[in-house]
Amino acid sequence: MNMKISIFNKIDLNLLKIFSNYFGRAWGFLSILICTPFYIKYLGLESYAIIGLYTLILAIISLADAGMASAVTKEFSLNRGSSYNFNLLIKIEKIYLAIFFLICLIIILLSGYLSENWINASHISSEDIKNYIILIGIGACIQMTASIYYGAIYGLGNQIIANNYQILWVTSKSILVLFLLKYYLNSLYVFFIWQIVCNIVYVLILRSYVMKNINHKNDIIFDKKFKISKDIVGYIGGMSLISIISALNSQLDKVAVSNYFELKTFGYYSMSAYLSQITIFLSIPLASFFFPLLTRRSEDTNNELFEIIMKNFIKMLYFMIIPFVFVLLFYPQEILIFWTKTSIDSHVLNEIKFLMIFLTIGSLFFALQLPFYYAFLAKSKTKYVIHQGLIQLAINVPFLLFFSIKDMFKYIGLAWFFSNLIAYIYIVYFYQKSTSNFLLKEYFIRYVILPTFISILVFYSFYSFYSFYKSWFVVFILLSFWLSFFCNIFTFNVMNGNKYFDIKSFYDFPK
């Protein structure tokens, strides 16, 4: 016991949680990077595109979450007691299971229609596609139920435990399946059935952990008269609309490409979109860490501590993601070929490079919004987020329809770029209007303009050397990123009178 205490005295728990979040997310990302070339090798590009449909369908059915998982995280963060948490979880759990059972049934009934009218496959039969859609629907619905338990663990502050479970789950479903494909049967049926098995085990483990924590003596009995409060219903109502709008904005491009273009083209788009959204994947772990902290301080009469947490959120996020964007902007071709380990036609490659530029910059603007997005959610000011999403949707739909109908594949990314640029401007403007402690000029100069200028300077310098040697691009990427990162920290500390390379202030803040 004393040993455990001494360890946690030496290691800041905030930093430990952040590292845990990143390791959990990084492993999920790395597993896909590692496995994608093998999926393409064992199954082919068209079958890989079918795997991409799993992500798309999962995102679409996540609309039914209606903010319930977020509400669980928010309520568990407020420490209202075990009895309250238990009753709230059971109540939402029953609603969740009923909704996703119904969705699963709808997907099964529509599978035949979707296989005939949505997917344009050259080498996969409609009957097989129908069966794949059914398996995807079952697996995705089971996976979605995990989100309320995962959110509960986060709300309880046990983020490290949640991430450990997630790492084991990701390893099982993404990497262990390769052995089945290689040594048992090279088939998408094996892939999707394995996903279902892993998802069932994952859900059961998460639920067991949550129940042991909130009802460890097994003495709390569900109160049938328990009602979800009006505040939570209002929050869920706002979040449900946000979830619908957000899912539409993030998945409409994939729906359009999968419908208007061949399945092979959708495979290329899936790869490009995945790489361009690495910036977002890097941002989500920080957002997951900061959201409970912002929620706890959202009801303080003194807004000072809330703003301190916000500034740290912005610093940590921007100084990391802005340099990383230039990795994708300067080296898209090298990364794509190195990752997929497949030869791509030069004409297609040029289109993908053009596509990735706008997808990547659009993802940057998406990530820049996150501190303000979660600040509004923490304060239950969902109307700003809803208005922002509607603006994005109004831009996204006409752009996507025009470029898809005109068969202009490489311009699809413009919809993502413009919608997120306008949304970013909107949410920053209204956050500045809603608080007196936010200085707009300081924000743009210190957190956006300077890091961008420094990163461009560093990456351009190293890319000039790389253009001459045309080898060891990974080394040039690592040198460029880390030099940009530390130059940003150095510049910020000089401007604020801190020690040159002081990083403690980035994670030492009110809990």
Residue 351 has what pLDDT?
Answer: 83
Q: Which pLDDT band, with edges at 50, 70 and 90, does 500 fall under?
A: low
Contact (CB, 8 A) for 295 and 77: yes
- pLDDT over 80 at 8, yes or no: no
pLDDT digits over 425-474, tens only?
999 998 888 887 778 888 899 899 999 999 999 999 999 988 887 778 88
Residue 192 has what pLDDT?
Answer: 92
- pLDDT over 60 at 5, yes or no: no
Q: Which pLDDT band, with edges at 50, 70 and 90, does 197 fall under?
A: very high
Distances (CA, A) of 351 to 270, 327, 357, 413: 14, 18, 10, 11
Q: Which of 136-145, 211-220, 226-235, 383-392 has the highest mean pLDDT?
A: 136-145
**Between 80 and 476, residue with greater pLDDT:** 476
Residue 359 has what pLDDT?
Answer: 92
Q: Which pLDDT band, with edges at 50, 70 and 90, does 421 fall under?
A: very high
The values of phi and psi at residue 482, to 5°, are -70, -35
Cβ neighbours for 153, distance < 8 A, ≥ 6 positions apart: 159, 161, 162, 165, 206, 209, 210, 213
Q: Which pLDDT band, with edges at 50, 70 and 90, does 45 fall under?
A: confident
Using CA atoms, how far apart are residues 12 and 108, in angstroms rounded to an integer? 49
SS3 state of residue 243: helix
Contact (CB, 8 A) for 255 and 417: no
State mean pLDDT over 72-85: 78
Residue 99 has what pLDDT?
Answer: 84
Contact (CB, 8 A) for 153 and 209: yes
Q: Token digits for 128?
A: 């097989």
The values of phi and psi at residue 131, to 5°, are -65, -40
Using CA atoms, how far apart are residues 410 and 74, in angstroms rounded to an integer? 40
CA 366 to chain centre: 11
Residue 1 has what pLDDT?
Answer: 44
Residue 218 has what pLDDT?
Answer: 65
* Identity at 507, one-letter amino acid code: Y
Lowest mean pLDDT of 221-235, 285-299, 406-420, name the range. 221-235
Residues, the chain: 511
- pLDDT over 60 at 418, yes or no: yes
For 314-354, give the DSSP string: HHHHHHHHHHHHHHHHHSHHHHHHHHH-S---HHHHHHHHH
Distances (CA, A) of 268 to 10, 52, 150, 242, 362: 47, 10, 32, 29, 18
Q: Quick one: three-class SS letters along 121-134?
A: CCCCCHHHHHHHHH
Q: Which pLDDT band, with edges at 50, 70 and 90, does 252 fall under?
A: confident
State mean pLDDT over 37-65: 80
State mean pLDDT over 18-37: 77
Q: Which pLDDT band, with edges at 50, 70 and 90, does 505 fall under?
A: low
Using CA atoms, how far apart are residues 278 and 364, in angstroms rounded to an integer? 9
Residue 459 has what pLDDT?
Answer: 93
State mean pLDDT over 342-353: 74
294 closest CA partner among 155, 430, 162, 427? 155
Using CA atoms, how far apart are residues 411 and 55, in angstroms rounded to an integer? 22
Q: Which of 145-149, 217-221, 256-260 has the highest mean pLDDT?
A: 145-149
Contact (CB, 8 A) for 88 and 72: yes
Residue 11 has what pLDDT?
Answer: 45
Q: Token digits for 68?
A: 């319930």
Q: Token digits for 495?
A: 């401007």
Count of alpha carbons within 13 Å of 201, Cβ hemisphere only?
Answer: 13
Contact (CB, 8 A) for 243 and 67: yes
Residue 9 has what pLDDT?
Answer: 43
394 closest CA partner among 269, 245, 259, 241? 245
The mean of the pLDDT values for the chain is 82
pLDDT digits over 116-150, tens only?
887 777 788 889 999 999 999 999 889 888 888 88
Residue with tokens 């035949």: 112
> What whole-number percentage of the chain has pLDDT above 70?
89
Residue 379 has what pLDDT?
Answer: 80
Contact (CB, 8 A) for 146 and 202: yes
Q: Token digits for 77?
A: 């963060």
Residue 510 has what pLDDT?
Answer: 54
Q: Which pLDDT band, with edges at 50, 70 and 90, does 4 fall under?
A: very low
Residue 74 has what pLDDT?
Answer: 76
Distances (CA, A) of 503 to 319, 485, 486, 507: 12, 11, 10, 8
- pLDDT over 90 at 508, yes or no: no
State mean pLDDT over 384-406: 86
Using CA atoms, how far apart are residues 411 and 355, in angstroms rounded to an integer? 6
Residue with tokens 């919608």: 419
58 closest CA partner among 207, 283, 251? 251
**How many beta carbons lie within 10 A of that of residue 409, not counting itself?**
20
Residue 344 has what pLDDT?
Answer: 67
